[in-house]
Amino acid sequence: MESPENDPERRVAVDLFNHVWSLLEMDDRSPEQDDEMIHAAHASRHHWGRVGTALNAARGEWQISRVYSVLGRGEPALYHARRCLALTTEHGFGDFDLAYAYEALARASAVAGDTHAAIRYAEQARVVTEDVEDNDDRDLVLADIATLPV
């Protein structure tokens, strides 16, 4: 029997997730690469839903929200940020993941043009980030919060 780490579908989920990051980090993507990024993020989340944990699913929703936020598409960014927070709270994930769920909602709200919600969620992200135990994780969240367009 294969170990979960060697599961081919798990490998696909990981590879797609990482591929989305490589596309997100590009300074100048083509429209085709934007489409590829959307499809890869959704495909990664799909595979995580089949072979991963609830934490993988929540992080997949966060990544999809980030993709749509980067592309300036507020409605789908908000949908996936809300899904991220719902999974995070339903399963009692705190710390880093809760901070990022609020960061996603702040970013998506800003992109959707709801400045009041963006400010409110950004503040919630900052408050929750105070409880992130790992210093590197806390710095990572704070760095992303600092890039929020509010």
Q: What is the CA radius of gyration of the chain?
A: 15
What pLDDT shows up at residue 120? 98
Could you state, in order of their start, the residue ranges of all structural domains in the chain? 4-146
Contact 114, 106 (CB under 8 A): no
The pLDDT score that the predictor gives to residue 1 is 45
pLDDT at 4: 65
- Vertex 10, ends 8 and 11: CA angle to 5°? 65
Q: How many Cα atoms within 13 Å fall on the side-chain side of residue 95?
A: 10
Q: Going residue by residue through the chain, which has 150 residues, state the pLDDT in tens, using 9 for 90 and above.
A: 455 667 999 999 999 999 999 999 999 999 999 999 999 999 999 999 999 999 999 999 999 999 999 999 999 999 999 999 999 999 999 999 999 999 999 999 999 999 999 999 999 999 999 999 999 999 999 999 999 998
Q: Which CATH superfamily is domain 4-146 in?
A: Tetratricopeptide repeat domain (1.25.40.10)
Structure tokens at 136: 């590197």
pTM of the model: 0.95
Residue 38's closest CA among 1, 74, 78, 70? Answer: 70
Contact 132, 96 (CB under 8 A): yes
